[in-house]
Amino acid sequence: MHNTPVDNELLDFLTVLNDAPSTDKVWGSTVAFMRGLGASHLHISMELDRVRPILLWTSPSWVSEQYLDEIYPDYDPTLEYCREKVTPLFTGAAFMDRQTDFPRSFRRFLWDMTVADVRSTVQIPIHTGSKRDWGRFSFHTDSGANEFNRLYARHGATIQLAGTMAFNQIRALHRKDRVSDIHLTAAERECLLWLSRGLRKDEIADRLDMRSAAVALHLASTRRKLDARTLDQALVNAVQLGLIEP
């Protein structure tokens, strides 16, 4: 178990997170706290099963743009690791040297990150209970492997706990904001609910005493409102947001 020599600061930080009214407040407090532990940059990435994930990164904008344009979602081995695992993953130059089969684009991205003061990283997978609802918290430093290992030996437990709590609070606030922006009609909710219970469109039409064309329009509307490419994704989003209970 790692030592946690900043217990008072950690408790104060967690209190701030709990009272924070917005994602900006949570993110700003997290950045300040983690930089006090030696972070050069922080990344929070969530909703990674979507076309465009939500990224909160302190690194320059070209880093996130390069990542989205050249890496995600084609192949990011750290992403695949975090999707399946719960233990932290340490990356950096030494990590890249051991992985000779990485695509050239990913190897170049890791090297380019050193320009943004990122040489050593711990990626913390975060799973919120659903296979489609997960992400990662990344703590980066500009130090070499030996110095980073000493830092993590001292502050690792604090980084994991604080990072996970920050991620979950941002996720909760983001979901709250999304729910308040989504307004499904009663008919749209009913159509989506029966679809989640396995009924086909014509069966939903019979149950709700409406035309099949009307059911199709209601479901298409819910898909647009839930920012989903497919009805299956619309169902997943609706359940995650608490809009329906199958």
Domain boundaries, the chain: 7-179, 182-240
Residues 83-97 have a mean pLDDT of: 80
Contact 62, 78 (CB under 8 A): no
Residues 65-74 have a mean pLDDT of: 90
Q: Which residues pair with 89 in a beta bridge?
A: 123
Residue 124, phi-psi category: left (phi > 0), alpha (psi -120 to 50), beta (remainder): beta
**Using CA atoms, how far apart are residues 180 and 176, in angstroms rounded to an integer?**
6
pLDDT score of 2 more than 60: no
Strand bridging mode 89-92 / 41-46: unpaired
pLDDT score of 31 more than 70: yes
Q: To which residue do tokens 């947001």 refer?
A: 241
pLDDT at 124: 97
pLDDT at 21: 92
pLDDT at 99: 64
Q: Residues 186, 188, 189, CA angle at the centre, nearest 5°?
A: 65
pLDDT at 8: 87
CATH number of 7-179: 3.30.450.80
Q: Which CATH class is domain 182-240?
A: mainly alpha
Cis bond before residue 73 (omega within 30° of 0):
yes
| Stretch (H or E) spanning 121 | strand 120-130
Least confident of 153-157, 180-184, 189-193, 228-232: 180-184
pLDDT score of 1 more than 60: no
pLDDT score of 100 more than 90: no
Q: Residues 87, 153, 114, CA angle at the centre, nearest 5°?
A: 75
pLDDT at 203: 95
pLDDT at 52: 76
pLDDT at 27: 97
**Using CA atoms, how far apart are residues 135 and 164, in angstroms rounded to an integer?**
10
pLDDT over 90, % of the chain: 57
What digits encode the pLDDT tens for the residues 113-125? Answer: 888 899 899 999 9
**Using CA atoms, how far apart are residues 165 and 104, in angstroms rounded to an integer?**
34
pLDDT score of 50 more than 80: no
Buried b (16+ CB within 10 A) or exposed e, 137-168: bbbbbbbeeeebeebbebbbbbbbbbbebbbb
pLDDT at 64: 93
pTM metric for this prediction: 0.75
pLDDT at 132: 67
pLDDT at 166: 97
pLDDT at 14: 94
Compare 244 and 156 and report the one with higher pLDDT. 156
Tokens read off for 40: 């050069």
Residues 75-91 have a mean pLDDT of: 90
Residues 121-137 have a mean pLDDT of: 86
